Amino acid sequence: MTTPFKALKKIRQIGFDELRTRGTQLVSAYRDRITGVEVPDRTEFFRLLDDDARLYTRNSAESVRQRFFENSRDRFFASMREDLAPAFSASVSTQAAEALIREADAICDGKLNILGYANVEVGTEIDWHREPISGTVSPRIHWKEFNELDHTESGDKRILWELNRHQHFFTLGAAYRLTGDERYAELFARQIASWIRENPPGIGANWVSSLEIAFRSISWIWALALFRDSAALTSDLLLDCVRLLYVHGRHIETYLSTYYSPNTHLTGEALGLYYLGTQLPFLEAASEWRRRGEDILLTEIAKQIGPDGVYFEQSSWYQRYTVDFYLHFYVLRELYGETAYDERNVVADERLNSALTFLLNIARPDGTTPLIGDDDGGRLLPHTNSEPADLRGTLSLGAAVFGRRDLAFGGADLFAETFWLLGSGGVRALERTQAHEPDTLSREFPDGGYFVMRNGWMPTDDALVIDCGELGALSGAHGHADLLSIDLSLRGRQLFIDPGTFSYSGSPEKRERFRSSAAHNTLTVDGRSTSMPAGPFSWKTRAAAIPKEWITESNFDYFEGDGELPAGGTHTRSILYVRGDYFIIRDVASVPGEHLFELNFRYSAEVAAEKDLEGEFVGDRFHRTFVFGTGALTCIPDQVSPQYGRLQNATRVRYAAKERDRAEFVTFVIPTDENFPPPEVSEVPIDAGRMFLIQFSDYRDVLLLGQSGIRIRTESISSDFGLTWARTHSTSDLPEQLIAVNGSRMSIVSSPIVRQDEPVRSVAARRFGRELYVNADGERQTVKLTDLPS
């Protein structure tokens, strides 16, 4: 409960502009609640036209229709000017066209795909106030009387709002243009007319969120363009839609989320205004909608996208939303042709390109995004039938807009989004772009705190994303307690994944569980999250993370970072990727007193991982995961949510140990190869530090772990590096390759390899006969090995 003191303190912290904006919105909402908001009747509507339109437009529905489609012919997306059926099949695929038609047929049967819920029975005469999963019907009260987070009054509003975004109108419209079948248009006409009747302005849950109103406006504009030639879209119905779109625009501009949710809410609303301003230019308000939408979008991108391209709320899903918003804006702005460029355009170009680069780099080998932070399961528009998490369509569109070869490579010929915005000409231009894989493999994004390891850009390659960033900007609303968590694909297959979100308000218990530390691929102490929640979209505490080391060389990557733990503790995670081979993860937790330390890895639902009979590893026929510590390894049935509202059964690996003051775990994630015996890992007791033997393929590798500056000795290696890795062939004990991180002294047998007074960050070496080619912090040398066996 907010006390008067807290309220006064908050008011004193608010700036004048925020106080004025919030106050104006409060007064507007109170006035609208008392007097009501009416849709302008026809006489009033024609007084809302600009001077030019009033001069040349007769006061008739037919004249509005003519003005609308004259404008959209040149100023809406290029696909609307094509003979859609042959153009779509040629530019995208016949299979994609057939998939659109099948989905439209299901809609005609009263079945919708809503977020992660497939084939939801909503009927064809839809109750727009009924949340279809719980069956809860929202009261017909003023929108300001709703509690946005109370699931008892409306069910899960995210589901209700997705239904009322009307994105299925796009699917019906696409099917109509592909087939000419009027039943798609007739259903659209009935449903949009019923929505207008059942949702008077300001009344009901569908007017609560300005962002949802913007999404709905965009869907309607697309639908009107798609059904342009249908007899079902009468001039009277189009005028009714335009009259209500005017009300939508007025609501959005009055209740912008400038201070309420200055994130994708604000940029999505701005895009909605820009759509309305460019597609209804005959309205007097349109020029202000265009100006304001463009102003917000150009201003916010520098705030919401960092210099390294990471979205400021630390959510990969909302990052993709943001990129899609701006790509639509860029294309519409070019079509409208009325842009006053200023210095913000330069920044916008830089940040949007950087945001696309980030998406390209975090994409898994199968093209999907790791579900870092919240995902709400939605899209700007259902332009593709690809998996919702598939980033490749967005990357292809980015390649088409900016002419980037690396994005074209990442887009992998998924052209649906490009076709709908740029037409077949845009697809042909994209095909002429000589796609080229990115110049770098592994990469850091220091502002966002993300680090990516990979060995290539093929669908069968490895990729690992490490989260060493903040919880997220503002209230951390869309962040998770995922400090130092990873998302790992091995040989192209999703292995360890983020669990997703599942729900915002429909299930408070699952909301907390899915964003907890225990749900992520990281370490917990006494089952507590690193950051503690204070509600579904806020936090009591926010743990900090600090990247300590990032090294990427031709044959390995190394990351090390620290994260805060409860009770004043520290979690240090380091990861060595022997490029193209396997991953080694070291977790060290330091917390005063005795505690239960748990290390969790959550498998993808497609991986049927099992613990072997001796309990030495967990895996399947494609990989093995070994964990070493003082505790016990167990496999636990669990659930993941690949899309909002959808649950899948999965397996969680849990390694738990009770320790005092300090706990250490070392994990090996190793692929199998049918041409060689399965990999094996064993620990060998030594006097100082830890030593592991890894039997992999035709090699026998050695890993030495210690503290920098403290020497560890084996029969052939002496090293004071914090980490030393050596590869030997099964027929020889002499190292063929060496990797070392953070130290100053190393020798093989009696031959010094590194002998420095100052610390050395990294060493990479390869032996050819009796010569070792050494790269120590970029300084290259050749060392002749002595005292070697003949």
Of 614, 558, 602, the C-alpha closest to 584 is: 558
pLDDT of residue 51: 83
- Per the CB < 8 A criterion, the answer to whether 290 and 282 are in contact is no
pLDDT of residue 732: 72
pLDDT of residue 588: 97
- Per the CB < 8 A criterion, the answer to whether 733 and 761 are in contact is no
The residue with tokens 């390294």 is 308
Enter the tokens of residue 783. Answer: 């060392």
What is the DSSP track for 361-413? Answer: HH--TTSBPP--S------S-----S-TTB-HHHHHHHHHHHT-HHHHHHHTT
Enter the tokens of residue 702. Answer: 């050695």
The residue with tokens 């080391």 is 549
CA dist 696 → 413, 464, 764 (Å): 36, 20, 20
- Per the CB < 8 A criterion, the answer to whether 225 and 187 are in contact is no
Residue 489 pairs with which residues in a beta bridge?
463, 494
φ, ψ of residue 684 to 5 degrees: the values are -115, 120
- Per the CB < 8 A criterion, the answer to whether 541 and 529 are in contact is no
Report the alpha-carbon distance of residue 242 to residue 239 in Å, rounded.
Answer: 5
Provide block-wise average pLDDT over 10 residues at a time, the chain (790 residues): 48 77 88 90 91 77 94 96 95 96 98 96 97 96 92 93 98 98 98 98 96 98 98 98 98 94 96 98 96 96 97 97 98 87 90 98 97 94 93 97 97 95 96 94 97 97 97 92 97 97 90 95 96 93 96 97 94 98 98 96 96 89 96 94 96 96 97 94 92 93 89 88 91 85 90 88 91 91 70
pLDDT of residue 4: 46
**DSSP class of residue 679?**
P
- Count how many residues are written for the chain: 790
Is the whole-model pTM more than 0.75?
Answer: yes
What is the DSSP track for 412-465? Answer: TT--HHHHHHHHHHHHHHHHHS-----S-SSEEETTTTEEEEES-SSTTS-EEE
302 by DSSP, 3-state: which?
helix
Q: Give all strands (DSSP E) within 697-750, no chain letters.
A: 699-705, 712-713, 717-719, 723-729, 737-748
- Per the CB < 8 A criterion, the answer to whether 214 and 166 are in contact is no
Query: SS3 breakdown of the chain: % helix, strand, coil, rounded to 5?
Result: 35, 30, 35
pLDDT of residue 2: 47
pLDDT of residue 17: 86
- Per the CB < 8 A criterion, the answer to whether 784 and 770 are in contact is yes
Q: Helix 210-226 crosses helix 264-279 at what angle (to 10 degrees)?
A: 40
> Strand 523-525 relative to strand 545-552: parallel, antiparallel, unpaired?
unpaired
For the four alpha carbons of 668, 672, 673 and 679, in that order, the dihedral sign comes to positive
- Per the CB < 8 A criterion, the answer to whether 291 and 342 are in contact is no
Report the alpha-carbon distance of residue 716 to residue 704 in Å, rounded.
Answer: 12
CA dist 139 → 25, 153, 404, 501 (Å): 23, 7, 50, 27
Report the alpha-carbon distance of residue 541 to residue 256 in Å, rounded.
Answer: 29
What is the DSSP track for 523-560? Answer: EEETTB-SS-BSSTT-BS----EEEEEEEE-SSEEEEE
Enter the tokens of residue 484. Answer: 């130092």
Q: Which residues contact 640 (CB under 8 A, 6 or more apart)?
A: 497, 499, 500, 602, 604, 605, 647, 648, 650
317 by DSSP, 3-state: which?
helix
The residue with tokens 């700007």 is 380
The residue with tokens 């209804």 is 280
What is the DSSP track for 95-123? Answer: HHHHHHHHHHHHHHTTEEEETTEEEEE--
Q: Which residues contact 318 (CB under 8 A, 6 or more apart)?
A: 263, 264, 311, 373, 374, 375, 376, 478
Of 699, 652, 359, the C-alpha closest to 499 is: 652
Enter the tokens of residue 330. Answer: 């860029």
**DSSP class of residue 564?**
E
Query: 243: part of which helix (H) or strand (E)?
Result: helix 235-254
- SS3 letters across 210-242: HHHHHHHHHHHHHHHHHCCCCCCCCHHHHHHHH
Helices (H) and strands (E) in the chain, counts: 21, 27
